[in-house]
Amino acid sequence: MRFYNNPVKEEWPEIMKRPGFDTYELRDKVQEILDHVKSEGDQAVMEFTQRFDGVKLSSTEVSKEEFNQAEKSCPQELKKAIQVAKNNIEAFHKVQFEEKKVMETMPGVKCWRKCSPIQKVGLYVPGGSAPLFSTVLMLAIPAQIAGCSEIVITTPPQKDGSIHHAVLYAAKLCGVTKVVKAGGVQAIAAMAYGTETVPGVYKIFGPGNQYVTMAKQLVSFENTAIDMPAGPSEVAVIADDQVPVSFVASDLLAQAEHGSDSQVLLITTSKKLSEEIEEELDRQLKKLPRAELASKALENSSTVYFDSMDEALRFSNEYAPEHLIISASNNVDLGDRITNAGSVFLGNYTPESAGDYASGTNHSLPTNGYARNYSGVSVDSFIKKITFQKISQEGLKNLGPIVEIMAEAEGLQAHKNAVSIRLEQLNSEG
């Protein structure tokens, strides 16, 4: 990790630079795959799966038997853990539903909002080096709470053409029985356009590599919504001198092991911690199976020392980390001053991995500085809020003249007329 001592504001952008990739170069390549799936459907999906994943499938559908087999293969202990996680995530997300509040803005003018589920949604669960059943929970649970009527999961098959048992177990536990063996751009295309076996959906969720991200952004040009743009995962840890260095190092490494393009920042007011962190990272790193990935990620990473906690907070808010751990004595107060972050973990006993899996919060979060302008996934992400209004005859008498004046001033005579024609009738009735 690089080290910075009280960097001045002009230095910040350089320290905060994310490991990037040039998405524009990918665009044409990704568009080609999208177009091919759009016109050829399942056949194209299976061709790309063979080409990119090296797996030859005769069908992309996960069968009932495969679900049953998965339930048998999944270890009991893991099933129980998944159940507990599900309960916590459900509890946290259930309270996110907004109650209907009818508001009378003027006598006789009633307005309200109704939450209505997005009917068809697609959840992308990446494959790669780990079976990400936790992502199934994080996406399927809020989709179910929102009441989405059609939920499809796409996830790349393993080398033998199967889907990992924990992924299928989690899907079924969340009531999702439509799982499609497809990953990458072809999976996004199948969900955006629909194929013979995959329903076209209105919104696509889930993390992915730069190809998946580009595919999501491109289909968002064509009527499909997406949860958010995505980049490599990242964490910032704000720490003072009351936290054991071993805790801090373990949190940084938990993030770093995601991939060589992950980024971790230690923002500290402790000279001691800033001096001891490297050695502790080395010590813990040696024992990790994914040490190589993690050590590459640390090369994109920095320790930033500040004399002042105020400056440390300003730095963090400017960086807008996906995950922010605050290991400091007054962590709750400091948390209140956070303006840009995806999810915040307060205190020495709140490691990020708790939220990644099981505490209840969602782990689908804005990366790459998008915490400045996006929220993480929640029940909100799976609903639309439709506004309603009902105006009584009395209400229109109160409000109508206002509308007439404004419409006239905007030069929209027919807008005015829609009010006038009604007011005239009301007045003629007496």
Q: Give catalytic residue positions.
A: 322-323
Q: Strand pairing of 109-117 and 120-124?
A: unpaired
Interface characters, 279-318, with its own copies (x: CB under 8 A): -----x--xxxx---x------------------------
3 interacts with its own copies by CB under 8 A: no
Give the bridge partners for 5, in sequence order.
305
Among 21, 81, 209, 241, binds its own copies (CB under 8 A): 81
User: Of the ranges 2-10, 56-64, 306-314, 421-429, which one interacts with its own copies (CB under 8 A)?
Assistant: 421-429
- Shorter beta-carbon distance to its own copies: residue 38 or 384: 384
Q: Which is nearer to its own copies, 60 or 368 (CB)?
A: 368
- How do beta strands 109-117 and 103-106 pair? antiparallel
Q: With CB under 8 A as the contact rule, which of the stretches 48-56, 79-87, 152-160, 303-311 interacts with its own copies?
A: 79-87
Q: Quick one: which of 398, 390, 403, 416 has its CA closest to 106?
A: 398
**Residue selected from 49, 264, 341, 367 as contacting its own copies according to rule CB under 8 A:** 341
How many residues of this chain interact with its own copies, rule: CB under 8 A? 136
Whole-number minimum distance, CB 400 to its own copies, in Å? 8
Q: Is the dihedral of CA 138, 141, 145, 149 positive or negative?
A: positive
Helix, strand, or coil (residue 333): helix
> Given candidates 48, 305, 315, 374, which one binds its own copies under the rule CB under 8 A?
374
Show contacts with its own copies in window 150-209 (CB under 8 A).
166, 202-203
Restricting to residues 85-104, which ones interact with its own copies according to CB under 8 A?
Answer: 85, 87-88, 91-92, 95-96, 98, 101, 103
Q: Residue 64 interacts with its own copies (CB under 8 A)?
A: no
Burial zone of 33 (CB within 10 Å; 0-12 exposed, 13-18 middle, 19+ buried): buried
Nearest partner of 238 among 152, 151, 338, judged by Cα: 338
CB of 58 to its own copies, least distance (A): 29
Q: For residues 171 and 153, is the Cβ–Cβ distance under 8 A?
A: yes
Residue 425 found at the interface with its own copies (CB under 8 A): yes
- Specify the residue for token string 């996906």: 322
Q: Which of 82, 163, 298, 334 binds its own copies (CB under 8 A)?
A: 82
Give whichever of 10 and 77 is closer to its own copies, judged by the CB atom: 77
CA–CA separation, 74 vs 207, rounded Å?
Answer: 24
First-to-last CA distance in the chain? 80
Helix, strand or coil, per DSSP, at residue 94: helix
The count of other CB atoms within 10 Å of the CB of residue 38 is 17
Identity of the residue numbered 8: V
Q: Is 124 in the site for its own copies (CB under 8 A)?
A: no
Going 200 to 204 to 208 to 209, the CA torsion angle's sign is positive
Q: To the nearest whole angstrom, how small is the minimum distance from the Cβ of residue 286 to its own copies?
A: 12
Give, for 125, the enclosing helix (H) or strand (E).
none
Per CB under 8 A, contacts with its own copies among 219-278 are 220-221, 223-225, 229, 244, 246-247, 250-251, 253-254, 256-258
52 in contact with its own copies (CB under 8 A): no
Helices (H), 97-221: 133-146, 165-173, 184-193, 210-219
Neighbours of 96 (CB within 10 A): 17
C-beta of 64 vs 287, nearer to its own copies: 287
State the minimum distance, in angstroms, from the CB of residue 325 to its own copies. Answer: 10
Q: Please say which residue, 288 or 309, places its beta carbon nearer to its own copies.
A: 288
Binding to its own copies by residue 375, rule CB under 8 A? Answer: yes
Q: How far is the CB of 247 from its own copies (least distance, A)?
A: 6
Give residues 385-404 in contact with its own copies (rule: CB under 8 A): 385-393, 395-396, 399-403
Task: Decide: is 217 part of the binding site for its own copies (CB under 8 A).
Answer: yes
Secondary element (H or E) of residue 303: strand 302-305
Write the single-letter amino acid at 168.
L
Name the residue among 7, 13, 110 with its Cα closest to residue 369: 13
